[in-house]
Structure 1
Amino acid sequence: MVEWFDDLKVGMRFTSGKATVSKEDIIRFASEYDPQPFHLDEEAAKSSIFQGLAASGWQTAAIAMRLATECRPFGPHPLLGAGVDDLRWLNPVRPGDTLHLEGEVTELVPSRSKPQGIARVKWTAYNQHGEPVYTFNPIAIVPSRPK
């Protein structure tokens, strides 16, 4: 069980639960945060680059964040970040897609001056067909075990 930065090891893997995205979810999110025709209107989306309704990439990112949070890779500690690298949308997320997240610890850097470290986890979101739809590599700040 991971409780502190000191418990993490490069190569550790995490797998999240699942989240299914409905047409209504896509339209609701887009109408508030990303009001573009290929996220809002099935007919307009057919003639877009997506050739059909697709979730906003920012909705995919928000779903991935929820899945990462629920996965609790840092035990009881929140997912506190200093930034994100390598954020990529690889495939569109469609109505009815079920996403899950897989992560691997790729780097651990203890702080020399604070009781914490930087943990890098490469996360990939996959749809129900095993196709990657989104990747991101956050710069996470994780507390060290109290001395």
Structure 2
Amino acid sequence: MQYFEDLEIGKVARFGRYEVTREEVIEFARRYDPQPFHLSDEAAAATHFGRLSASGWHTCAMTMAMLVANLKEHRQAGLGSPGMDELRWLVPVYPGDVLRVESEVLEKRVSQSRPEMGIFKSRVTVFNQDDVAVMSMISNGLIQTRPR
């Protein structure tokens, strides 16, 4: 199990592989972000996207799927997250893209009010198959301290 004490500031983890499909882009958009350029090739062609693109929120959801799979694989004693400090959609994500994640631990501290948990910040960057950054965020995570 990986605990707060095991987190190393500056350590970079590289993981994940998520193939973006046309069907999933449209289904997500229908349910959660029904803007025309996420639903129609014709509508998207008339915008700066040029073609059907994934919602930024869909990119977040795909990233979360990769993050959780990585946490399970490394058995991190995670306790969720109080949120993010910033989120940037850098370039569009298109059907056919293959996404991956890099995460760097920026800082960490033990909670003053709850010493059984720590708080850490990570820079999470999502890349496509061409190693172009498509999204970045600063994530705040909660994690158990090592049981005594």
Q: TM-score, normalised by structure 2?
A: 0.93
Counterpart in the other structure of 1:8: 7
Check the 8 A contact 2:78/2:141 in 1, yes or no: no
Counterpart in the other structure of 1:25: 24
- State yes or no: 1:46 paired with 2:77: no
Counterpart in the other structure of 1:100: 100
List aligned pairs for 1:91-130, cutoff 5 A: 91-114=91-114, 115-130=116-131
Partner SS state of residue 6, structure 1: helix
List aligned pairs for 1:61-76, cutoff 5 A: 61-72=60-71, 75-76=75-76
Check the 8 A contact 1:117/1:143 in 2, yes or no: yes
| Distance change >3 Å, CA 123–CA 25, structure 1 → 2 | same
Check the 8 A contact 1:14/1:71 in 2, yes or no: no
Check the 8 A contact 1:38/1:44 in 2, yes or no: yes
2-side partners of 1:63 and 1:121: how far apart? 17
- Matched residue pairs, number? 146
Quick one: which amino acid aligns to residue 20 of structure 2?
A: V
Counterpart in the other structure of 2:89: 89
Quick one: which amino acid aligns to residue 69 of structure 2?
A: E
Check the 8 A contact 1:110/1:117 in 2, yes or no: yes
Runs of 4+ with >3 A deviation: none
Check the 8 A contact 1:111/1:118 in 2, yes or no: yes
The answer for unaligned runs of 5 or more in structure 2 is none
Check the 8 A contact 1:17/1:100 in 2, yes or no: yes
Partner SS state of residue 80, structure 1: coil
Partner SS state of residue 58, structure 1: helix
Percentage identity across paired residues of the two chains: 39
Check the 8 A contact 1:4/1:75 in 2, yes or no: no
Q: TM-score, normalised by structure 1?
A: 0.94
The answer for unaligned runs of 5 or more in structure 1 is none
Please list the CA deviations of residues 80-119 of structure 1 after superposition, one character each: whole Å capped at 9, or x if unmatched. Answer: 0011112000000001000000000001111233211101
Coordinate RMSD, CA, aligned:
1.5
